[in-house]
Amino acid sequence: MPPIKVLHLIPTLSSGGAERQLVNLIHNTSREIINHVVCVIGEADFFAPNIREANYKVVEMGIFAKHPFFRAALKFRQVVREEKPDIIHTWLYDANISARLAVLNGKVPIVTSLQFADYEPEAGRIGNYNPHKVRALRAIDKFTSIVTKPYFVPCSYFVKNSYQRLYGTNEMKTQVIYNSVDPDLLAVSANDVQKIRENLGLSSDAFIYLNVGRLDPQKNHKVLFESFRQVSAEIPNAFLLLVGVGSLEKELKNLAENLEIDKKIVFLGRRKDVDALLELADVFVFPSFHEGLPVALVEAMFKSLPCIASRIEVFEEVISDGKMGWLIDPTSADELKDAMIELYKNADLRKTLGENAFQQAQTKFNAATSAGQWEKFYQKVKSESKTP
């Protein structure tokens, strides 16, 4: 029996969480069971070489516009004709809509990954989204899903429950598969870690807090900066490393300067050596206001890093507070500061939290486990698509 051919559609192959999940899926599913083809609406950058090196095809449509549904749908329809997939798998909003428009009333089943609780009022408030625009986008989303009847795969139970409450997904066509990490891809040499330390000019006794994520309001950097201002006053050898790019970069750099901590905060931009930076760090800090299920946090857990994260619903699926991490009120700079200082002072606690975090990651978020779940899910979708 030939492998199931899955044609993925995704807006870009940049360094975001959805893109990384796609790469994990491709690398960990069995070639004998699944044959992947990746189609990119925009530019096939960053992760494209990684996918091609695994001998999977990447198709680049080269469409650069905000919400290019109709142009992308027309081009993607041709890709579908050429590739003749058994299943179409879409990632992120623009891809979801474009694929549904491309195959309206078609016979190819669609699987939609849900990476974020997009329609939560809190997400709109934090992102300062226009509520009328959000309602319009949800109406388009809902209408195209009614017509094409896709399967949904939320990345967490929080996302699943949110979509069922605010969108109305079909329980019978929904399955949670956690975002996951391939620990083998995080392997790094001690020499690589030392080179980063030297390149950044960090002394051997520097105590390093690390944050990985887009520089946007959702990630709550402003509270993190205020906390770190207090931390650095008490811990002279403390540094905060930030991995990521985003709309707030200039504003955050100005804020760091105004708080007089710009010498202690390092903006690293987009990086391909996050694995080595995780090895370098002493504590992972992730005080987001809102998430789906962030890969960055799971990667830190696989590196046995003690993690400080927000006390929000989705993180309570990932971390047991006080056992494998520390959950704090994301609006409280003082609470975050206290947690950061306590983990600096208490090496035994850092070790215990890190070890427990690693065990949790191995059990719930290993890509080998999720790959098996995806294989079975694809098989189910293909089987049901042949049922009259």
Domain locations in the chain as residue ranges = 4-180+366-385, 183-364
CB 11 within 8 A of CB 68: no
Per-residue pLDDT at 193 exceeds 80: yes
Total-model pTM: 0.89
Percentage, residues of the chain above pLDDT 70: 99
For residues 271, 275, 280, 285, the Cα torsion angle rounded to the nearest 10 degrees is 80
Instruction: Name the least confident of 38-42, 168-172, 206-210, 357-361.
Output: 168-172
pLDDT given at position 154: 97
Calculate mean pLDDT across residues 312-329: 94
pLDDT band at 123 (very low <50, low <70, confident <90, very high): confident
CB 140 within 8 A of CB 94: no
Per-residue pLDDT at 71 exceeds 70: yes
Per-residue pLDDT at 303 exceeds 60: yes
pLDDT given at position 122: 79
pLDDT given at position 101: 95
pLDDT given at position 14: 85
Calculate mean pLDDT across residues 150-158: 96
pLDDT band at 387 (very low <50, low <70, confident <90, very high): low
- Mean pLDDT, the chain, whole residue set: 93
Calculate mean pLDDT across residues 313-327: 94
pLDDT given at position 107: 84
User: Which amino acid is residue 380, in one-letter code?
Assistant: K
Distance CA 204, CA 229 (A): 22
Q: Give residue for tokens 């796609």.
A: 22
Exposure on the CB side of residue 150, measured as CA atoms within 13 A: 28
Q: Which of 184, 6, 185, 3 is closest to 91 using CA atoms?
A: 6
Per-residue pLDDT at 311 exceeds 90: yes
pLDDT given at position 118: 87
Tell me the per-residue pLDDT of 217-275, one tens digit each, with 9 for 90 and over. Answer: 999 999 999 999 999 999 999 999 999 999 999 999 999 999 999 999 999 998 889 99
Per-residue pLDDT at 388 exceeds 60: no
Look up the CATH superfamily of 183-364. Answer: Glycogen Phosphorylase B; (3.40.50.2000)
**What order of strands is seen across the sheet that includes strand 34-40?**
57-60, 34-40, 4-10, 87-91, 110-114, 151-154
Percentage, residues of the chain above pLDDT 90: 81
What is the full DSSP assignment across 238-290? EEEEEEB--TTHHHHHHHHHHTT-TTTEEE-BS-S-HHHHHHH-SEEEE--S-
Look up the CATH superfamily of 4-180+366-385. Answer: Glycogen Phosphorylase B; (3.40.50.2000)
CB 21 within 8 A of CB 179: yes
CB 55 within 8 A of CB 49: no
Distance of CA 20 to the CA centre of its chain: 7
Calculate mean pLDDT across residues 282-309: 95
